[in-house]
Amino acid sequence: MTQTLTHPDYLLNAWEQDACGGQTYRLMLQAPGGVRPGPDTVALVEWLVAATNGAARTDGALAPHKRVYLRRSASGWSDVCVAPAGTRRLRLLLCHWKQISPAPPQGPWTFTCEPVAPVPPRTIRAAVAYQQTVPPRSMESARAVTVATIRQAGQQKVELLVLSEDFFGRDVTVPWEECSRALEDPWMQPVYDAVGAAGLYAVFAFNEKRGPRRHTTAALVSPQGEVVGVYRKRHLTQHELERGVTPGDEWPVFPTPLGRIGMLVCWDGWFSGGAAALARRGAQIICFPLAGDGEDKHWDHIWRARALDNQVYWLASVTGDCGGQAPSRIVAPTGDVLAETRQPNGLACAELALPVAHESYWLSVGPVWSEIRNVYRHSELEPAQYQ
């Protein structure tokens, strides 16, 4: 029989109240004085259902069916959760693993739980492009190909399109410094106009001129043709470093009507921390423009792993001119490939179901069910650069 987590060595406090299966709840636990607890202090919810012990019981006993680690906030934890079917009560447990971080602050903790309207599920039509230049190669011809691809996506009723990395300046005779463009450069306007005319969200990565600095930048453009999100690549290749590219210093996540979108660029995908940082900030979709990746043992396994262990949709768009083996691909939070293409300037389309609800038994929080993403919440130690 499942036992409740009540060991006195690490249980600091517990709260219980009635709950109803299928109801959505907003749960908040605030630390005394608004102090952010260390990573060894966690808050988790047990959803209690009628207990069984190999056969039906009639004594009214309750036992945990599912555990959920709450998402950290500035001064504690805050999350929106759906009570599993059959839930009778919920129990919030405040635990401290006593590993590295100091003991949590002393004083009264504030726990609130209120029913809220459920998040309506929706399906998003997304696409990734396999971009290929056409002769004669120039920035203008690459821009024309990009505009045509955006129009194609609009005709196919795509809501979110991911384009590749450094497509405008790929293999052109113009010096690299002259390939850089500011976000507000009029040269970029035909791309923004095409996105607006297609009525979709689009992500692409390019060489950005930002004052005296140069960045490899991913831009999120809205259905109104406006830049609503910018991510500057943090993991730079030797080639970029030699050119004087400046790394970014943030892991931004952008709320949109489609969901919460994060972006990474090419070499970022070789490192697990960036995707994890975006997921911790609530990203549901990670858009991943890249030039290419020649090793199937890398892109095939890693892209699936990034989607699976962060519980996000992973949308990779490749620049075909780089000669790599990698396709443009959409991966589900289960690690399954939903769509891919190596067709020059073709699209791979898939339906993305949000919010993500992917559960498994045990998964280090058992023996009970829990959402896959929660296995990573009970230990949130990470390098300082990902905080």
Q: What is the pLDDT of residue 58?
A: 60
53 and 173 part of one domain: no
42 and 160 part of one domain: no
71 and 102 part of one domain: yes
Is 243 within a domain?
Answer: yes
Of 92, 2, 110, nearest to 45 by C-alpha is 92
Tell me how far apart the alpha carbons of residues 174 and 309 are, in angstroms, rounded to a whole number.
41
For residue 187, report the phi and psi dihedrals to the nearest 5 degrees: -60, -30
Is 341 within a domain?
Answer: yes
Q: Are 220 and 201 in contact (CB under 8 A)?
A: yes
227 and 91 part of one domain: no
Query: What are the strands, taking DSSP E only, across 188-279?
Result: 201-210, 213-221, 227-232, 253-256, 259-263
pLDDT-wise least confident of 18-27, 49-58, 100-109, 336-345: 49-58
Mean pLDDT over 99-118 rounds to 86
287 and 341 part of one domain: yes
Q: What is the CA radius of gyration of the chain?
A: 23
pTM for this predicted structure:
0.89
Q: What is the pLDDT of residue 5?
A: 60
Confidence of residue 53 (pLDDT cuts 50, 70, 90): low
Indicate the number of domains in the chain.
Answer: 2
The SS3 assignment for 33 reads helix
Residue 134's CATH number: 3.60.110.10
Q: Are 265 and 289 in contact (CB under 8 A)?
A: yes
Q: Which residues contact 317 (CB under 8 A, 6 or more apart)?
A: 128, 129, 130, 131, 162, 163, 164, 165, 203, 287, 288, 289, 290, 328
Mean pLDDT over 73-88 rounds to 92
Domain of 95 in residue numbering reads as 11-119+358-386
Q: What is the pLDDT of residue 1?
A: 32
Is 149 within a domain?
Answer: yes
Q: Is the pLDDT at 16 greater than 60, yes or no? A: yes
Is 15 within a domain?
Answer: yes
Q: Are 159 and 261 in contact (CB under 8 A)?
A: no
Residue 32's CATH number: 2.60.120
Q: What is the pLDDT of residue 7?
A: 67
Q: What is the pLDDT of residue 2?
A: 42
Q: What is the pLDDT of residue 339?
A: 98
Looking at mean pLDDT, say which of 54-58, 132-136, 256-260 comes out highest: 256-260
Is 303 within a domain?
Answer: yes
Report CA torsion sign: 292, 294, 300, 305.
Answer: negative
19 and 67 part of one domain: yes
Q: What is the pLDDT of residue 54?
A: 57
Looking at mean pLDDT, say which of 66-80, 181-195, 282-296 comes out highest: 181-195
Condensed to tens digits (0 to 9), the pLDDT of residues 239-251 reads 899 999 999 999 9
Share of the chain above pLDDT 90, in %: 67
Largest separation between any pair of C-alpha atoms in the chain: 80
Is 258 within a domain?
Answer: yes
How many helices (H) and strands (E) the chain has is answered by 6, 22
294 and 380 part of one domain: no
Q: What is the pLDDT of residue 40?
A: 82
Q: How many CB atoms lie within 10 A of CB 221?
A: 24
204 and 344 part of one domain: yes
pLDDT-wise least confident of 115-129, 248-262, 365-379: 365-379
365 and 350 part of one domain: no
Tell me how far apart the alpha carbons of residues 277 and 347 are, in angstroms, rounded to a whole number.
28
Share of the chain above pLDDT 70, in %: 92
Q: Average per-residue pLDDT in the chain?
A: 90
172 and 295 part of one domain: yes
Q: What is the pLDDT of residue 172?
A: 83
Is 53 within a domain?
Answer: yes
Tell me how far apart the alpha carbons of residues 92 and 4 are, in angstroms, rounded to a whole number.
11
36 and 131 part of one domain: no
Is 3 within a domain?
Answer: no
160 and 102 part of one domain: no
Q: What is the pLDDT of residue 181?
A: 95
